[in-house]
Amino acid sequence: MCYSAMVTQKYRDFIRQFNADIGIDEFIALYVERARNPSVKIPRAMDANFADPQTEPERRIRELITAHDRGLTEKWQRDLFKQRTRLADAERSLQVKVTKKAESDRRIATEKVNWLLGKLADLNRVEPKAIDSRIFPMHYALVMVWENGRRVVKPMRYHCRPAGKPAFYDSKYPGCYNARRDNLEGFWKGQFGVSHGLILVSAFFENVSRHRLEMQELGPDEKDENVVIEFRPQPGHEMLVACLWSRWVGSDGEELLSFAAITDEPPAEVAAAGHDRCIIPIQRQYIDDWLNPIGDLHRAYAILDDRERPYYEHRMAA
């Protein structure tokens, strides 16, 4: 399962490379939704598209981002004051008598103070970092689709909720950020051959067994552990990764755009690193055929089979 990936979040890159249009209405709807529900996970690299707004819609989004960041700052500052007070109280108590409660309060408050200071510093930084472009399940990413005869880029959640299914599918099927190639005409029959997308990926991350990675047998008293491995194509470049997407509409008119990356059996070097699935990068010559499948499943499978086949170099993720 591709549980995390480093993706391109700059929509101007899609405009420049693929002559794509931008679904600005979907961007506005997403940021309005985050204003209503702050738990919506929009990576900072996506926010950065609107750092220097040039149009009225972009200015509207910039205002929503500013209000969101201000709300987070105020919340974290309140929490910081609360934890610093807790820390001071614990330290005063420990000067009088050492108790487990006071020691626990000091430890927990210290950890939370450091975490909050880090979050506040991160929120205020200007320089970009690689983590700003990394997505996890339930995070949003830029997905290129086909609409009205054009390539269009829209923000979508990385965990697909198929149209017509109940909202509880998000928890019932927690692995729906990936779509297995051998189940495209099963679970994903409503999307395969109907609504295809592409994301730009420069690296992906997998949880693997340390013992499988090191090709060692578990000892009788040993417990296996997971480690995170980063895979990058060599030579390094952005891959066009095949996805399925859906526009879900609730009974109250609520809309959700979401997607899943298609995965298949891994190449030898990924399998040797201990993982049993891999994303599928398509060749650029097939972009429009993939994005506009018109129900031709035979053609869609042929594109997935005639994929780009880079060598994936791996290392322990930082």
Query: What proportion of the chain, given as a percentage, has pLDDT over 70?
Result: 94
Q: Tell me the per-residue pLDDT of 255-297, one tens digit each, with 9 for 90 and over.
A: 999 999 999 999 999 988 888 899 999 999 999 999 999 999 9
Query: What proportion of the chain, given as a percentage, has pLDDT over 90?
Result: 84
Tokens of 22: 């931008």
Using a CB cutoff of 8 Å and minimum separation of 24, what contacts does 183-186 make? Answer: 184/244, 184/262, 185/297
The whole-angstrom separation of Cα 137 and Cα 66 is 25
Q: What would the mean pLDDT of 289-307 be, rounded to a whole number?
A: 96
Given a contact cutoff of 8 angstroms between Cβ atoms, the answer to whether 9 and 133 are in contact is yes
Given a contact cutoff of 8 angstroms between Cβ atoms, the answer to whether 196 and 243 are in contact is yes
Tokens of 63: 């205002």
Based on the fold, state whether residues 196 and 256 are members of the same structural domain.
yes
Q: How confident is the model at residue 215 (pLDDT cuts 50, 70, 90)?
A: low
CATH code of the domain covering residue 74? 1.20.58
Based on the fold, state whether residues 60 and 162 are members of the same structural domain.
no
Q: What is the pLDDT of residue 219?
A: 59
Say if 36 falls within a structural domain: no
The whole-angstrom separation of Cα 200 and Cα 287 is 12
What domain count does the chain have?
2
**Amino acid identity for residue 44 in this structure:** R
CATH code of the domain covering residue 8? 3.90.1680.10
Based on the fold, state whether residues 116 and 187 are members of the same structural domain.
no
Q: What is the pLDDT of residue 179?
A: 96
86-107 burial by CB neighbour count: b if 16+ within 10 A, else e?
Answer: bbeebeebeeeeeeeebeebbe
Based on the fold, state whether residues 74 and 11 are members of the same structural domain.
no
Based on the fold, state whether residues 160 and 283 are members of the same structural domain.
yes
Q: What would the mean pLDDT of 5-20 be, rounded to a whole number?
A: 94
DSSP string, 170-217: HHHSTTTTEEEGGGTTTTTTTTTTT-EEEEEEEEEEEEEEHHHHHT-P
Say if 286 falls within a structural domain: yes
Is the pTM higher than 0.85? The answer reads yes
| Residue 87 clears pLDDT 80, i.e. is over it | yes
Based on the fold, state whether residues 153 and 10 are members of the same structural domain.
yes
Q: What is the pLDDT of residue 210?
A: 60
Q: What is the pLDDT of residue 213?
A: 57
Based on the fold, state whether residues 198 and 291 are members of the same structural domain.
yes
φ, ψ at 137 (rounded to 5°):
-50, 140
For residue 200, count CB atoms less than 10 angstroms from its CB and return exposed for 0-12, middle for 13-18, buried for 19 or more.
buried
Based on the fold, state whether residues 309 and 236 are members of the same structural domain.
yes
Residue 235 lies in domain: 4-24+136-316
